Structure 1
Amino acid sequence: MSTLRACLMAAIRKKVVIVGDGACGKTSLLIVFCKDQFPDVYVPTVFENCVADIEVDGKQVELALWDTAGQEDYDRLRPLSYPDADVILICFSIDSPDSLENIPEKWVPEVRHFCPNVPIILVGNKKDLRGDPQTVRELIKMKQEPVRPEQGRVIAEQIGAFAYLECSAKARNVSLFGLSISHCIFGPVGIRPSEIHFFPHENYWRER
């Protein structure tokens, strides 16, 4: 057996499905994580996936990352992405309080219906916009404000999430993204960064 083939066979493969409202930053997060590039133009996703290789405790892990469309037009198609998922990432945008409200109202019921025993990580995207003056002004007009970290943590605990974290794809601040997935799938690995808020769900740590 060739060395390359042996390495490929030895790789652990895990499937991660990303859901959330349209335009909440899901696709940008994945593109930066997989390709280290930030997309300049927003194009609504139907179904896309990419593969990222990470190392966990000396083991090579292949993450199949499935991006999905958040628009209602695709509600009937999105369930096709759920089978065999190991982790579900539910995303919202920090500059859109409505997208956070939709987590318990829309996304968690859907995920629990199709993936009842799959762990959830709640991700707040567009962290860089929390202090952006223009964003703050626009939200004030609607009597809203950017989502605060404690609001995200409350929802994460409410829905029984494994962890809560915030990212900025534009600032390429996505390293915690892969680390949170590693902890979710394999349990405590190395140092737990304070930027990720973990909840005590030890039953999520499992080898498949």
Structure 2
Amino acid sequence: MLVFVSFIFTLCSFDNYSANMMLDGNPVTLGLWDTAGQEDYDRLRPLAYPEADVFLICFSLVIPSSFQNVRAKWYNEVRHHCGNVPLILVGTMMDLRDDEDMMKKLKKKKLSPITCNQGSLMAKEIGQLWIHR
């Protein structure tokens, strides 16, 4: 069982993870850099970008402002620093799109979850792949 506790903690600027795998019969090391999105890290974050082969731009399907930031912040930042490196748009927290409590919270704020169609349209607008699961 998981227990969630509220506490104050200091965010780090980024975490990185790696895994060894086979791709087309060849060994490959997959590296994932999870960077902080806060404005405080705007100058540090691009240090993680050199030699990136692909970017995953993630947003919450139940936090509309994170979806708006795809276009307002993330797409422009990646393009500025990395030119035409491929992007994959990833909608997260899909399980909460149908959660009754989450729907009530969003409705109170006159908001609604991001739909599959909205994600597809955003991906089309920025010319990238869209994944939602």
Please indicate, yes or no, whether the TM-score normalized by the shorter chain is above 0.5: yes
Q: How many percent identity over aligned positions?
A: 50
Residue 159 of structure 1 is matched in structure 2 by: 126
Structure 2 distance, partners of 1:139, 1:98, is 12
Q: Distance in 1 between matches of 2:118 and 2:44?
A: 30
Letter of the structure 2 residue corresponding to residue 103 of structure 1: V
Residue 157 of structure 1, CA deviation: 1.0
Whole-angstrom CA distance in 2 between matches of 1:122 and 1:157: 10
Aligned to 2:25: 58
For 1:43-54, what aligned pairs fall within 5 Å after superposition?
44-54=11-21
Report how many aligned residue pairs link the two structures: 129
For 2:64 and 2:93, locate their aligned partners in 1 and report how far apart those are by CA, in whole Å.
12
User: How far has the Cα of 1:165 moved from its partner?
Assistant: 0.8
Find 2:84's aligned residue among 92, 95, 117: 117
Q: Distance in 2 between matches of 1:47 and 1:41?
A: 22
Could you state the TM-score of these two structures normalised by the residue count of structure 1?
A: 0.58
Specify the alignment match of 1:148 in structure 2.
115
- 2:17 is aligned with what amino acid? C
Equivalent residue letter for 1:166: H
User: Which of residues 99, 103, 111 is equivalent to 2:66?
Assistant: 99
Q: Which runs of 5+ in 2 are unaligned?
A: none
Q: 1:195 is matched with which residue? A: none
Gaps of 5+ in 1: 1-37, 168-208
Give the TM-score taking structure 2 as reference length.
0.88
Match of 1:128 in 2: 95
Q: For residues 111-152 of structure 1, what are the alpha-carbon distances to aligned partners after superposition, in whole Å with 9 as ceiling and x for unaligned?
A: 000011200000001111110111111000111111111111
Could you list the per-position Cα deviations for residues 7-55 of structure 1 after superposition, in whole angstroms to 9, with x for gaps in the alignment? xxxxxxxxxxxxxxxxxxxxxxxxxxxxxxx9x6796341210102233
Question: Take 2:68 and 2:32, find their aligned partners in 1: how far apart are those partners?
Answer: 24
TM alignment of 1:81-96, pairs within 5 A: 81-96=48-63
Contact 1:49–1:66 (CA under 8 A) maintained in structure 2: yes
